[in-house]
Amino acid sequence: MNTAETIITRATPGAGRTVIGVSRFGDRAFEWLTLLMAFSIFVLIALIGFELFRGATPAIRKFGWHFLVSGTWNPVDGVFSALPFIFGTLVTSAIALLLAVPLSIATAIFLTELAPLWLRQPLIIFIELLAAIPSVILGFWGSYVMVPWLHIHIYPLLRSTLGFLPFFQGQDSGPCILSAGVILAIMVIPIITSVSREILRSVPGLQREAAYALGATRWEVTRIAVLSYAKRGLFGAVILGLGRALGETMAVTMLIGNVPYIGLSVFKPGQTLASVIANEFTEAITRLHTSALFEVGLVLLGVTLVVNALARLLLITFAGPSVKPQN
Amino acid sequence: MNSVHVLPAAVAPHQTMEQKSTNAALAVRNLSVFFGTNEVLKRVSLDIASNAVTAIIGPSGCGKSTFLRSLNRMHELNPEARMTGEIRLFGDDIYASIVEPVIVRRRVGMVFQKSNPFPTMTISENVTVGLRLNGVRDKKILTERTEQSLRMAALWDEVKDRLHAPAISLSGGQQQRLCIARALAVQPEVLLMDEPASALDPLATSKIEDLILELKKNYTIVIVTHNMQQAARASDFTAFFYLGELVEFGATTKIFTSPSQKRTEDYVTGRFG
Amino acid sequence: MQVVAFICAVLVITPLLLVFYHLTKLGFSSINLAFFTQLPRAVGETGGGMGNAIVGTFILLVEAAVIGVPIGVLGGVFLSEYAAVSVSWWVRFGADILNGVPSIVWGLVVYALVVVPMHGYSALAGGIVLGLMMVPMVMRATEEVLHLVPGGYREASLALGISKWRTILQIVVRTALRGIVTGVLLALARVAGETAPLLFTAFGNPYWPRNLTQPVAALPLQIFDYAYSPYDDWRRQAWAGALVLLLLVLFINISVRVLTRERWGAKP
């Protein structure tokens, strides 16, 4: 008997004989299956890029670089430019960050440094649940509850106190750039807060102790030892929030007024890259219109990818790959 | 292409007369193991006697765990592992290219330092997992084998009324004996034990040692231990490793009372460790 | 300083409370049996419900799970159990990129891939887009959970002569099952609330779903449609729909938290 047969017949009178090579097949097949599934990621990325480019090609060919800068979006005349939407996206995101960042970081500080222990977990859960609210529900609530309230109580106040600034001039009808910015702020607060919390928690205790040892007060400890150490990470959290804000569609669409606009007043209705696609795609009749919307999608994707990559870079160089941003 | 499983009609006697003779259970010749460029074991040769307990001793990092794992090809879990030399299990070359590590491991079982019963399974499910996941479905055989293995691991009386309790509800010492039962259930010919009692209290440890002395009647046992008293108590043969080399190998009484190598003597008398 | 931070924290959770309050106040009264079992009535008629949207969402979620779970879980298995460090880094990087793609862009892509060749909107397209969105989420979650399974179990299983693939499926994955289910549920909750990608894939439908090749209603889509409408009755139902959707999403999130807390213990 050669070695192979000896091994088979002698193998485990207790556990059963096994034909050689069988487990090798099972292992190989399973490994290949899982590899294929994992590599679907690359297939999906390629598909996204490919389909967007393909859809956008007619518009790219027709408008070239003017698409990004010329400023007129007129489906009727067949003239398309994404500039008003780039503007709207940037402005609403800027408003959202201006409102959300101080609130989020203060809340993160509260959660990590100041809050009594029994309060922390419930608060954290609340904030994570806030993140789970679907965009359309926030948009709906925003439309019928928040915006009328802002329109009646807040905007006139802004106009009367800050109306000398060009930002707060002009009448509003409720849905406007500022309203969209506010709802976006509500939507990005959870992610900025939770990532900031992780960042602050990862600041080594030694930093704090050293500051206390030097006689600093609690706030000084927070400001000097913790915040300045965590600067880069916190900045990364903010950029991550920006990435989320850029891609937001439904709540923005419902609150922004849906008119292409470039100008200084935040009380005017506007349009973002995402909201114009949501609004016009199913109604687009001409091939060029559809293609222009695909190109808007391409611009949106590009901007979002760059911003997200930047955020991750900041977070990794700060804290190492251990900090995991939630999506 | 499914595994073909054939079971003898009755539980076969574990050892044939031939195997009970002076055949070495495991014959190791010029075994060298490399992890990448690091030579962890250097040309080790020895014979592991059947139906006896062989202890592997030596200071940390001497390669004893690697040696143990090379006996059931578990060192191959490290993707950078390479070996040269030969190991024969009752005459069969376990590193022959046609041999699946899976088959070797069914003939050479292993118990680990940290007991690891599978947490999602009951006590009896743990015992029979090696059988079930290799295709054995016959309930009768599974039940018989469960009782048999738990008796051999000196655990039966303690758990016979709660075979369906979760395995993790057992104490540390019981869990380790459960792992031994689990390993025995597939009826290996050799049982490898990597510091099996080092995480246990003295009472549980002595139960394990008593168990080992019982088990050697039917199995060949190789045990790695850093506890020299344990080696002296429980083993028939001892191999002393140092920095990847086999320094001395012989009957336990000889190694501990009159070793021929100075390094051996220094280690067993505690001059270094 | 302490006061300021506390006030900020309160401000932050206020929207959640307000949303919940208003949805309940405005929507609760409209939740009745008719809401769940009837179709939307024509404009001007009162009554009717969102039964079709609820069934539609359910159908879309099943489709999404069929696509997202096998690919995501098996991909996660690859990342955790087989992949070399460099390979898994790239796959993870790619998954993170996919997780950052705006959902409306996903809608555009699946429109081009499925709706155009099929010459029409369909439940199939809607399920596909939600399923594809789930893949990177489930994959990352599965990988993380599998990493947490101690190596000792794999070793013990292999030492029993159990083959690697069986070890992975029947020991490792089984040990991590609760975590994997959690990851899947969270991903489902995420896509259940998505509207944008459905705008031009599933599209919406005032009738009961009949087959996968027709456009289908979905709860978030219906809410969006009704929210814009000038008819009080439809708006009233939109509140109810929003409340139902919110409860569904929150329920999944909370149960997931309860499940995982039992196991690992809460840590603020």
d(CA A193, CA C15): 15
Instruction: Tell me the CATH class for A62-322.
Output: mainly alpha
| Whole-number Cα distances in Å, B247 to B65, B66, C63 | 15, 16, 65
Q: For position C129, what pLDDT does the model report?
A: 97
| Mean pLDDT computed over C18-44 | 79
Answer whether A2 touches B (CB < 8 Å): no
Q: For position C218, what pLDDT does the model report?
A: 93
| Mean pLDDT computed over A274-283 | 93
**In a domain? residue C97:** yes
**In a domain? residue B139:** no
Is B67 a residue whose pLDDT tops 90?
A: yes
d(CA C113, CA C117): 7
Cite the DSSP H helix spans in chain A: 3-10, 22-63, 66-69, 83-109, 117-132, 135-141, 147-149, 155-162, 177-201, 205-213, 218-220, 228-247, 250-255, 273-280, 287-319
Would you call B56 helix, strand, or coil by DSSP? strand
- B28 neighbors B2 (Cβ within 8 angstroms): no
Give all strands of the β-sheet with B38-49 in edge-to-edge order: B38-49, B24-35, B81-89, B92-93
User: How many structural domains is chain B composed of?
Assistant: 1
What CATH number does residue C177 fall under?
Answer: 1.10.3720.10
**A111-115, A293-297, B264-268: segment of lowest average pLDDT:** A111-115
Do the chains contact at A35 and C82, CB–CB below 8 Å? yes
Do the chains contact at B112 and C159, CB–CB below 8 Å? yes
Do the chains contact at B91 and A17, CB–CB below 8 Å? no
Do the chains contact at B116 and C171, CB–CB below 8 Å? no
- CB atoms under 10 Å from CB of A210, counted, come to 14
Give the pairing of strands B24-35 and B81-89: antiparallel
Mean pLDDT of all residues belonging to chain C: 89
**In a domain? residue C91:** yes
| Mean pLDDT computed over B221-237 | 90
**In a domain? residue C56:** yes
Torsion from C-alpha of A299, A304, A307, A309, nearest 10 degrees: -110
Q: For position B13, what pLDDT does the model report?
A: 40
Is B114 a residue whose pLDDT tops 60?
A: yes
Answer whether A13 touches B (CB < 8 Å): yes
- C107 or B207, which is more confident? C107
| Mean pLDDT computed over A49-59 | 94
d(CA A127, CA A111): 11
What one-character DSSP code corresponds to residue A1?
A: -
Is B20 a residue whose pLDDT tops 60?
A: no
Answer whether A7 touches C (CB < 8 Å): no
| Mean pLDDT computed over C181-206 | 93
User: How many structural domains is chain C composed of?
Assistant: 1
pLDDT in tens, A91-104: 999 999 999 999 99
Nearest to B191 by CA among B213, B233, B219: B219
**In a domain? residue B200:** yes
Length of chain B: 273
d(CA A112, CA C268): 9
Give the closest-approach CA distance of C45 to chain A in angstroms: 22
Give all strands of the β-sheet with B53-57 in edge-to-edge order: B108-111, B190-194, B220-224, B53-57, B237-242, B245-251
Mean pLDDT of all residues belonging to chain B: 86
| Mean pLDDT computed over A237-255 | 92
- Token pair in block for residue B174: 């019981």
d(CA A139, CA A141): 5
Residues 179-208 on A with a CB inside 8 Å of C are 186, 189, 193
Which residues on adjacent β-strands are paired with residue B41? B33
What one-character DSSP code corresponds to residue C112?
A: I
Nearest to A22 by CA among C60, B98, B265: B98
Answer whether B75 touches C (CB < 8 Å): no
List chains touching B (3+ CB pairs under 8 A).
Answer: A, C
Q: For position A10, what pLDDT does the model report?
A: 42
Nearest to B179 by CA among B208, B209, B158: B208
Q: What is the DSSP string of C230-265?
A: S-HHHHHHHHHHHHHHHHHHHHHHHHHHHHHHHHH-
Answer whether A14 touches B (CB < 8 Å): yes
d(CA A49, CA A86): 20
Which chain A residues are closer than 8 Å to C96 by Cβ? 308, 312
List % helix, strand, coil for chain B (3-state, nearest 5): 35, 25, 40
**In a domain? residue B242:** yes
Nearest CB among A106, A139, A189 relative to C5 is that of: A106
Is A6 a residue whose pLDDT tops 70?
A: no
Would you call B223 helix, strand, or coil by DSSP? strand
Q: Which residue of B has its CA nearest to A25?
A: B1
- C32 neighbors C96 (Cβ within 8 angstroms): no
Which chain B residues are closer than 8 Å to C153 by Cβ? 116, 118-119
Answer whether C117 touches B (CB < 8 Å): no
| Mean pLDDT computed over C66-82 | 96
Q: For position B223, what pLDDT does the model report?
A: 94
d(CA A181, CA A154): 14
A210's CB contacts (< 8 A; 6+ apart) are: A225
Do the chains contact at A133 and C163, CB–CB below 8 Å? no
What one-character DSSP code corresponds to residue B196?
A: T
| Mean pLDDT computed over C33-47 | 72
Nearest CB among B104, B112, B119 relative to C155 is that of: B112
Which residues on adjacent β-strands are paired with residue B34? B39, B82
This prediction's pTM: 0.87
Would you call A23 helix, strand, or coil by DSSP? helix
d(CA A38, CA C95): 9
Is C194 a residue whose pLDDT tops 50?
A: yes
Nearest to B44 by CA among B27, B20, B21: B27
d(CA C228, CA A254): 8
Is A90 a residue whose pLDDT tops 90?
A: yes
Res. C158 pLDDT band, cuts 50 70 90: very high
d(CA A130, CA A327): 13
Nearest CB among C100, C104, C220 relative to A136 is that of: C220
Is A47 a residue whose pLDDT tops 60?
A: yes
- B57 neighbors B64 (Cβ within 8 angstroms): yes
Which residues on adjacent β-strands are paired with residue B53? B221
d(CA A206, CA A191): 27
Q: For position C138, what pLDDT does the model report?
A: 97
Instruction: Give the domain range for residue B83.
Output: 20-118+190-268
Do the chains contact at A274 and C102, CB–CB below 8 Å? yes
Residues 239-258 on A with a CB inside 8 Å of C are 243, 246-250, 254
**In a domain? residue B214:** yes
Do the chains contact at A13 and B14, CB–CB below 8 Å? yes
**A23-27, B211-215, B264-268, C21-25: segment of lowest average pLDDT:** A23-27
What's at B199, amino acid-wise? A
Highest mean pLDDT (candidates A159-168, A214-223, A293-302): A293-302
Would you list the domain boundaries of chain A?
Answer: 62-322
Q: For position C46, what pLDDT does the model report?
A: 66
Residues 72-111 on C with a CB inside 8 Å of B are none
Is A119 a residue whose pLDDT tops 50?
A: yes
Q: For position C12, what pLDDT does the model report?
A: 83
| Mean pLDDT computed over A300-320 | 85
**A262-266, C228-232, C251-255: segment of lowest average pLDDT:** C228-232
Sign of CA dihedral C204, A174, A303, A102: negative
Q: For position B16, what pLDDT does the model report?
A: 41
Nearest to A45 by CA among C190, C150, C132, C30: C132
Task: Number of A to B CB contacts under 8 A, please give it.
Answer: 80
Tokens 């307990």 label which residue? B53
List chains touching A (3+ CB pairs under 8 A).
Answer: B, C
Res. C41 pLDDT band, cuts 50 70 90: confident
pLDDT in tens, C79-92: 999 988 899 999 99
**A135-149, A245-259, C19-33: segment of lowest average pLDDT:** C19-33
* H or E element at residue A98: helix A83-109
- B5 neighbors B134 (Cβ within 8 angstroms): yes
Res. A11 pLDDT band, cuts 50 70 90: very low
Instruction: Give the domain range for residue C164.
Output: 50-218
pLDDT in tens, B93-103: 889 888 888 88
Res. B22 pLDDT band, cuts 50 70 90: very low
Q: For position B73, what pLDDT does the model report?
A: 93
Torsion from C-alpha of A283, A248, A183, C134, nearest 10 degrees: 110
Task: Number of A to C CB contacts under 8 A, please give it.
Answer: 258
Is C259 a residue whose pLDDT tops 90?
A: no
pLDDT in tens, C160-172: 999 999 999 999 9
What CATH number does residue B25 fall under?
Answer: 3.40.50.300
d(CA A290, CA B252): 85
Is C254 a residue whose pLDDT tops 60?
A: yes
d(CA A245, CA A241): 6
pLDDT in tens, B2-15: 333 333 333 334 43
Nearest CB among B92, B102, B145 relative to A6 is that of: B92
Q: For position C44, what pLDDT does the model report?
A: 62
Nearest CB among A3, A10, A15 relative to B134 is that of: A15
Phi/psi of residue A203, each to 5°? -65, 125
d(CA C178, CA B79): 30
Total H helices, total E strands in chain A: 15, 0
Sign of CA dihedral B215, B219, B225, B228: positive
Residues 118-137 on B with a CB inside 8 Å of C are 118-120, 129-130, 133-134
d(CA B258, CA B16): 35
